[in-house]
Chains A and B, each alone.
Chain A
């Protein structure tokens, strides 16, 4: 019996596949899986959330303590100008609310509570329980009543279209789904990627809500003023202020810190929103003179 040690050919134990190719394929698979999962779950959760009765939403709002967020910042001194702005805004809000009800009498009557915050933040938001908060900081940036009505109508639109509860339903579902996916790995990089892809894919839903609220607001403005002129001031005001769309859909979260692309932003691009507004005005063939706000005269 003769013994020998022949040279073992290379490539039996070691795969020829390029590791980067493998990484790329795996990342693609992870991306597709996470996007499909998040989009499917978000759609189902969002659809189901619409069936949550508004009374239940109000209950949820109380449970999560929305009221504490709404405590109006007390002005340090009696400010007649602030008083005037607040009254004007709340009054305009009520007018728009009545108009919204007249425009669509079949719609479920979802009560909207308007709040005025004396803070300097350039922001306005709608949140769970039908609460809409307007910040004095944003109101002071506006020149025309039409732009102010645009903000109010946009936030009223969020409430009427049940956006806060839908966003919450989606958010919770996606969070639970992603954390169960993240449980599979203890690698920080993979967890980060899954988290990032998951979060990015939810953003298209929030932009879709913004577009819907913009369209709602445009309809209301045409009904109230007969035209859309002056409304786009809102977007120029938002664009001028620190270059970041401050006005937000729910809970007052700010825009993604990543600059630029539409994919990574909770709100559609401001220029795009201005364009959509202009196109709508052209389609409807409406134009007119914007009303200047009383304190801007």
Chain B
């Protein structure tokens, strides 16, 4: 029966999605502590001081929605309200993109990134314009003392 297959997909989505999300958040927190010394700002102007170079640094992430999150969001679409399952997913994507940008900046020996911007694009829209995956791109100007 179709419903059983779909329920299994939802259960699998929940199980693996939950494990992946927990591990990812742990990893994000750990790396955020490691890159704490690289400061990021969305200020456009150079702070006072002596700066060498200013390469563009960036990091991007592509995420896909698991079936469970899609089901919960689909049900939410009937009633309205916060799409909490997508919120946590996009939170992970933004933080991961910023971390990848910081990793890029570290390779340049930078200790500050200014003019940080986040951009997002949906890569694939599934059937019926259902968003399947989203890219989050973080970029900015790295500054080296």
Given contacts A5-B39, A189-B9, contact A184 B78 (CB under 8 A): yes
Instruction: Say yes or no: B72 contacts A19, CB within 8 Å.
Output: yes
Given contacts A20-B14, A23-B75, A26-B75, contact A187 B88 (CB under 8 A): no
Q: Kindly provide the distance from the CB of A80 to the nearest chain B CB, expressed in whole angstroms.
A: 46
A30 touches which one: B14, B18, B78 (CB < 8 A)? Answer: B78
User: B residues near A, CB below 8 A?
Assistant: 2-3, 6-7, 9-10, 14, 18, 32, 36, 39-41, 43, 47-48, 67-72, 74-79, 82, 84-85, 87-88, 91, 112, 127-128, 130
The residues in A between 179 and 200 inclusive whose CB is less than 8 angstroms from any CB of B are 184-190, 192-193, 196
Instruction: Say yes or no: A13 contacts B72, CB within 8 Å.
Output: no
11 additional contacts (CB under 8 A) given A14-B87, A19-B84: A3-B47, A7-B36, A14-B88, A19-B14, A26-B78, A29-B75, A186-B130, A187-B130, A190-B71, A190-B78, A192-B6
Given contacts A19-B18, A192-B2, contact A185 B77 (CB under 8 A): yes
Q: Kindly provide the distance from the CB of B90 to the nearest chain A CB, expressed in whole angstroms.
A: 8
* Whole-angstrom CA separation of A22 from B68 in the bound complex: 11
Give the interface residue-count category, chain A: 20 to 34
Instruction: Say yes or no: A5 contacts B78, CB within 8 Å.
Output: no
Residues of B within 8 A of A242 (CB): none
5 contacts between A and B (CB under 8 A): A13-B88, A19-B84, A26-B78, A30-B75, A186-B74
A40 lies within 8 A of chain B by Cβ: no
Instruction: Say yes or no: A189 contacts B47, CB within 8 Å.
Output: no
* Whole-angstrom CA separation of A26 from B41 in the bound complex: 39
* Whole-angstrom CA separation of A201 from B10 in the bound complex: 24
Residues of A within 8 A of B6 (CB): 188-189, 192
B71 touches which one: A4, A15, A187, A196 (CB < 8 A)? Answer: A187
Instruction: Say yes or no: B7 contacts A189, CB within 8 Å.
Output: yes
Q: DSSP majority for the B interface?
A: helix
Shortest 9 CB-CB distances between A and B: which pairs? A186-B128, A187-B74, A26-B75, A189-B6, A15-B84, A13-B91, A192-B3, A14-B88, A190-B74
* Whole-angstrom CA separation of A29 from B3 in the bound complex: 19
Instruction: Say yes or no: B87 contacts A13, CB within 8 Å.
Output: yes
Q: Kindly provide the distance from the CB of B145 to the nearest chain A CB, expressed in whole angstroms.
A: 13
Residues of B within 8 A of A184 (CB): 77-78
Mark A29-42 against chain B: 1 for CB-CB distance below 8 A, else 0: 11001000000000
Given contacts A19-B84, A22-B85, A23-B71, contact A5 B40 (CB under 8 A): yes
A14 touches which one: B2, B39, B69, B91 (CB < 8 A)? Answer: B91
Instruction: Say yes or no: A189 contacts B10, CB within 8 Å.
Output: yes
* Whole-angstrom CA separation of A192 from B75 in the bound complex: 12
Using CB atoms, name the residue of chain A closest to B74.
A187
Given contacts A3-B39, A189-B71, contact A29 B128 (CB under 8 A): no
Residues of A within 8 A of B85 (CB): 19, 22
Residues of A within 8 A of B10 (CB): 189
Name the residue in B7, B43, B72, B76 with the highest tally of chain A Cβ atoms < 10 Å from its Cβ. B72
* Whole-angstrom CA separation of A193 from B7 in the bound complex: 10
